[in-house]
Amino acid sequence: MKTLVMVAHPNLETSVINKAWKNRLIQETDMTVHDLYAKYPDGKIDVVFEQQLLLDHDRIVFQFPFYWYSSPSLLKEWQDMVLTYGWAYGSEGTKLRGKEFVLAISTGGPETAYQAGGYNLFSMSELTKPFQATANLTGMRFLPTFTKQGVRFLTQEQVHESAEELVRHLKKNY
Ligand SMILES: Cc1cc2nc3c(=O)[nH]c(=O)nc-3n(C[C@H](O)[C@H](O)[C@H](O)COP(=O)(O)O)c2cc1C
């Protein structure tokens, strides 16, 4: 099982949690950690390179901080450019079929905010529906999401522990 972790954070230097996750995941030999903002500072995606990377892996992970109830913009641009008709979807677009797909998301808001009656109204399962639909359309199996919430108030120890939890989550058989 080869896992591709696509890290999408526009400023990893100031990041706490996504930087810690990335630094932990690069130690795993069966994982490829792909830092999108580092690879494409000009925002111009190399579609052939990205599609080959996807073909070379079985489990695809999108790791990002939650920005306006979604991902940072370069990951959306990546989806628009890379998941093309006839490749990722459409009757001939079968290249991702049978792969697995996982989200790993950090949020500033606490878990309690993400529910009916909470200040963000909706759960993470509801807010990540576009990703679930994308996995469905491209024939990938959507696996349970890894979330770490209320991240501003985490201790160094909790940040460290969340990175270990993430490794276990991404290596698990579902
Ligand atoms: C532009 C922007 C939008 C954000 N939108 C949300 C949001 O919709 N929900 C939320 O819980 N936190 C939101 N946040 C907080 C980030 O999710 C939080 O700072 C991030 O997960 C921390 O991860 P890091 O330490 O890797 O930067 C936002 C932050 C920024 C800068």
pTM beyond 0.95, yes or no: yes
Q: For the chain, what are the domain ranges?
A: 3-171
CA 12 from chain centre, in angstroms, equals: 15
Say how many Å lie between the CA of residue 84 and the centre of ligand 1.
28
Amino acid in the structure at residue 52: Q
Which amino acid residue places its CA nearest to atom 31 of ligand 1? 67
Which amino acid residue places its CA nearest to atom 28 of ligand 1? 67
pLDDT per residue as tens digits for the range 86-110: 999 999 999 999 999 999 999 999 9
Q: How far is it, in rounded angstroms, from Cα 126 to Cα 90?
A: 25
> Which residues of the chain register pLDDT less than 50?
none
What CATH number should be reported for the domain whose range is 3-171? Answer: 3.40.50.360
